């Protein structure tokens, strides 16, 4: 056991004689647990209180993701309607599951679009005020 000038205890690993571990690191090593070290991750997301900038960025990213998925669902339903229209202009479904999936995708896209726009408006509101 080695003690440095700050009072921390260090141990030498028996397998790796050149590595020094503190008592806390040896406890993690003996328990086969990898400790979470915040120095390896961005300090931006590892704070206890969110700042105004973090709220703005979070809402902006969530809004963009919601709008991205809404656009994807809208394109899928539009393509399905284009290729599966009958001569009279009515969308023809092969079975009830296809009809359910089509309407479910359509309504989910509309809901995600509303959520994306609201997240964007909240981000703008936080930015202004």
46 assigned to some structural domain:
no
71 assigned to some structural domain:
yes
Whether the model pTM is above 0.85? no
Q: What range does the domain containing 22 cover?
A: 2-34
Q: How many domains does the chain have?
A: 2
**Within this chain, do residues 58 and 13 fall inside the same structural domain, yes or no?**
no
Pick the residue with more confidence: 8 or 75?
Answer: 75
69 assigned to some structural domain:
yes
**Within this chain, do residues 57 and 107 fall inside the same structural domain, yes or no?**
yes
73 assigned to some structural domain:
yes
User: Which pLDDT tens digit goes with each residue over 25-46?
Assistant: 666 666 655 555 555 455 555 5
45 assigned to some structural domain:
no
124 assigned to some structural domain:
yes
DSSP string for residues in the chain: -EE-TTS-EEEE-SSSTT-EEEHHHHHHHHTT-----GGGS-TTS--SS--HHHHHHHHHHHHHHHHHHHHHHHHHHHHHHHHTB-TTSPBP-SSHHHHHHHHHHHHHHHHHHHHHHHHHHHHHHHHH-
Pick the residue with more confidence: 109 or 2?
Answer: 109
**Within this chain, do residues 70 and 114 fall inside the same structural domain, yes or no?**
yes
């Amino acid at each position: 056991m080695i003690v440095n000038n700050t009072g921390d205890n260090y141990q030498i690993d028996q397998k790796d004689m050149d590595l020094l571990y503190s008592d806390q690191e040896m406890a993690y090593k003996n328990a086969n647990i990898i400790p979470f070290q915040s120095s390896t991750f961005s300090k931006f997301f590892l704070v206890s209180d969110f700042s105004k900038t973090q709220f703005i960025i979070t809402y902006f990213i969530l809004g963009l993701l919601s709008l991205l998925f809404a656009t994807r669902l809208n394109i899928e339903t539009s393509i399905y309607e284009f290729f599966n229209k009958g001569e009279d202009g009515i969308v023809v479904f092969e079975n009830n599951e296809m009809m359910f999936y089509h309407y479910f995708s359509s309504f989910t896209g509309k809901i995600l679009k509303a959520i994306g726009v609201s997240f964007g408006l909240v981000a703008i509101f936080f930015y202004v005020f």
